[in-house]
């Protein structure tokens, strides 16, 4: 008898026979891991150190057939299913307590077709895996900004990064997906096959099935881009951000400038007297002609009195890993997020005020710049809905000592609440924490939510895939 979590979310004691486990082991090409094994600990340990859950069974899949066997086993045993790609989701949806974990992290193949500019990517691949293969041919797809993030979770929630203003979201570049449904069928979803499912996969998260292969459009990018940081004292942040707000309206979509408010880490290019002090960091990336990028960036780099300027030509793959040292696995993480149509004076004041009392040196306020190609796609073209936001704020609470949980979480919630009057009301689903089910999931999908419910009713009426930012079926 083992205590498990059923599909309804209830805790129950059920018997999973040794014969059933033996049959599962014999059926899969990958591995079945149980508590106490090294495989089990690897699979249940994910990026956010606050997540400490113990599934009853882990199936470490080697292919689509293994996924089908795992789903069928979970259905027969009435086990809740969690699905792990890269294990980077802030809410910890990759692992559930007491259920069955489908671990896709061993499925890491990335195949590039340079002639057709198409990539075929398995769901265990990370952004770093994808970028390295594609950049060997001077190609890329818009992805995120941390190379250890999983391609699967990023894509299913939308996906944005340095290339998105020019080339769109990750889901805007998704051509097709192979999906194992709740019924155990392996289907292809694209603009010509299972088009309703394809609509839902592009932003609807893991609600409709387990994707075993993604097909992406590639674009010429790099291999060298103009990128780097311009760092100012926090006391200058209000003035600099107001200048930046106007500056970015005059540059092409290939030029992007994000910003971060935090305490300065002990980086070698920063004067030692600034280590640990509050700063504003402008993160610049331009993926066109380097000389033209230098010309475009010059007014922004010369404004005010920067502490440091390390903008220059660098490999795109290097820029994609530049934040990795600040986002290593294992720390305690808590996020809060808003979308903003504009960087108003009032919002700048709120951000700067809260940056003066950041509770931990690992914590930061990050704002991504979108618009451009992202805004030119109709809101109902796919599940991802919030096309109007020009800025996405991630209040990135991050710390190591559990004794600081209340202080760090409280600070993040306070900043989020103070920024509500300036927000669009929508939110990026990949930034939602465990507590933000229900209405905030609706906020993420807006007018598309009811269509997603209808899709859930068709493809997963029993909510087999419920360990996620869940869209509840109504049948």
- How many CB atoms within 10 Å of residue 424? 17
Distance CA 440, CA 422 (A): 17
Residue 423, domain member (yes or no): yes
SS3 72: helix
**C-beta of residue 56 within 8 angstroms of C-beta of residue 99:** yes
- pTM of the entire structure? 0.95
CATH number for the domain that contains residue 28: 3.30.43.10
**Dihedral sign (CA 161, 165, 167, 171):** positive
Tokens representing residue 241 in the block? 């951000």
Q: State whether 424 and 361 are in the same domain.
A: yes
Tokens representing residue 319 in the block? 């820029």
Q: State whether 254 and 394 are in the same domain.
A: yes
Residue 436, domain member (yes or no): no
Q: State whether 89 and 148 are in the same domain.
A: no
By C-alpha distance, which of 139, 98, 64 is closest to 317?
A: 139
pLDDT tens digit sequence for 205-227: 999 999 999 999 999 999 999 99
Tokens representing residue 330 in the block? 């294992």
pLDDT band at 170 (very low <50, low <70, confident <90, very high): very high
Q: State whether 299 and 359 are in the same domain.
A: yes
What lies within 8 Å, CB to CB, of 298 at 6+ separation is none
Distance CA 227, CA 256 (A): 10
Domain count, the chain: 3
* CA 131 vs CA 13, 157, 160, 176: distances in Å: 45, 19, 14, 19
**C-beta of residue 221 within 8 angstroms of C-beta of residue 316:** yes
pLDDT of residue 1 exceeding 60: no
- Cα three-residue angle 290-293-294, rounded to 5 degrees: 90
Tokens representing residue 259 in the block? 């910003």
pLDDT tens digit sequence for 29-50: 999 999 999 999 999 999 999 9
Q: How far is CA 198 from the centre of its chain?
A: 19
By C-alpha distance, which of 434, 411, 329, 310 is closest to 363?
A: 411
Distance CA 209, CA 226 (A): 39
Q: State whether 8 and 96 are in the same domain.
A: yes
pLDDT tens digit sequence for 233-285: 999 999 999 999 999 999 999 999 999 999 999 989 999 999 999 999 999 99
Identify the domain boundary among 160, 194, 221: 221
Question: What is the number of alpha carbons within 13 Å of residue 127 lying toward its C-beta?
Answer: 28
CATH number for the domain that contains residue 180: 3.30.465.10
The DSSP result for 261-308, as a single string, is: EEEPP--TTS-GGGTTSEEEEEEEEE-S-HHHHHHHHHHHHHSS--SE
Whose tokens are 């003066």? That residue is 356
pLDDT of residue 7 exceeding 70: no
What lies within 8 Å, CB to CB, of 101 at 6+ separation is 43, 44, 55, 57, 58, 59, 81, 82, 83, 84, 94, 95
* CA 25 vs CA 30, 36, 464: distances in Å: 8, 17, 22
Q: State whether 192 and 289 are in the same domain.
A: no
Residue 71, domain member (yes or no): yes
Residue 230, domain member (yes or no): yes
Q: State whether 241 and 335 are in the same domain.
A: yes
Whose tokens are 């990539």? That residue is 119
CATH number for the domain that contains residue 329: 3.40.462.20
- Cα three-residue angle 433-411-361, rounded to 5 degrees: 95
Q: State whether 267 and 409 are in the same domain.
A: yes
Q: State whether 214 and 255 are in the same domain.
A: no
pLDDT of residue 338 exceeding 80: yes
Q: State whether 129 and 54 are in the same domain.
A: no
Q: State whether 383 and 271 are in the same domain.
A: yes
pLDDT band at 8 (very low <50, low <70, confident <90, very high): low
The H or E element containing residue 455 is: helix 449-459
Distance CA 310, CA 326 (A): 17
Residue 440, domain member (yes or no): no
Residue 6, domain member (yes or no): yes
Residue 121, domain member (yes or no): yes
Q: State whether 198 and 264 are in the same domain.
A: no
pLDDT band at 4 (very low <50, low <70, confident <90, very high): low
Print the domain residue range for 205.
Answer: 110-221
Residue 469, domain member (yes or no): no
């Amino acid at each position: 008898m083992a205590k498990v979590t059923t599909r309804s979310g209830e805790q129950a004691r059920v018997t999973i026979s040794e014969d059933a486990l033996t049959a599962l082991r014999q059926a899969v090409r990958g591995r079945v891991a149980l508590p106490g094994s090294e495989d089990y600990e690897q699979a249940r340990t994910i990026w956010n150190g606050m997540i400490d859950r113990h599934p009853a069974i882990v199936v470490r899949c080697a292919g689509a057939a293994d996924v089908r066997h795992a789903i069928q086993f979970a259905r027969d045993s009435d086990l809740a299913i969690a699905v792990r790609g890269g294990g980077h989701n802030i809410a910890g949806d990759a692992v559930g307590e007491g259920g069955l974990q489908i671990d896709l992290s061993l499925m890491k193949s990335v195949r590039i077709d340079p002639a057709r500019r198409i990539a075929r990517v398995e769901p265990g691949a990370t952004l770093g895996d994808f970028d390295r293969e594609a950049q060997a041919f001077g190609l890329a797809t818009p992805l995120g900004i941390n190379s250890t993030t999983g391609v699967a979770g990023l894509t299913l929630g939308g996906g944005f990064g340095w290339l998105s203003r020019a080339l769109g979201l990750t889901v805007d570049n998704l051509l097709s997906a192979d999906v194992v449904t709740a019924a155990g069928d392996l289907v292809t979803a694209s603009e010509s096959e299972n088009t309703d499912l394809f609509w839902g996969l592009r932003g609807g998260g893991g609600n409709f099935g387990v994707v075993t292969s993604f097909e992406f459009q590639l674009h010429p990018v790099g291999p060298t881009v103009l990128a780097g940081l311009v760092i100012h004292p926090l006391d200058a942040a209000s003035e600099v951000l107001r200048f930046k707000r106007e500056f970015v309206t005059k540059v092409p979509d290939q030029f992007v400038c994000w910003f971060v408010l935090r305490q300065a880490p002990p980086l070698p290019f920063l004067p030692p007297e600034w280590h640990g002090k509050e700063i504003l960091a402008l993160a610049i990336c331009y993926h066109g002609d380097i000389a033209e990028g230098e010309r475009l960036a010059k007014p922004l780099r010369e404004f005010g009195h920067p502490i440091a300027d390390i903008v220059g030509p660098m490999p795109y793959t290097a820029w994609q890993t530049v934040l990795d040292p600040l986002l290593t696995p294992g720390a305690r993480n808590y996020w809060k997020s808003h979308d903003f149509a504009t960087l108003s004076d009032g919002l700048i004041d709120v951000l700067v005020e809260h940056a003066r009392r950041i509770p931990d040196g690992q914590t930061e306020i990050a704002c991504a710049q979108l618009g451009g190609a992202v805004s030119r796609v109709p809101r109902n073209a796919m599940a991802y809905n919030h096309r109007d936001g020009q800025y996405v704020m991630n209040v990135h609470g991050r710390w190591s000592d559990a004794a600081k949980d209340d202080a760090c979480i409280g600070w993040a919630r306070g900043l989020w609440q103070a920024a509500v009057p300036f927000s669009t009301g929508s939110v990026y689903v990949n930034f939602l924490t465990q507590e933000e089910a229900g209405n905030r999931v609706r906020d993420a999908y807006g007018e598309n939510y009811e269509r997603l419910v209808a899709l859930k009713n068709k493809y997963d009426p029993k909510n087999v895939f419920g360990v996620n930012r869940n869209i509840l079926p109504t049948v």
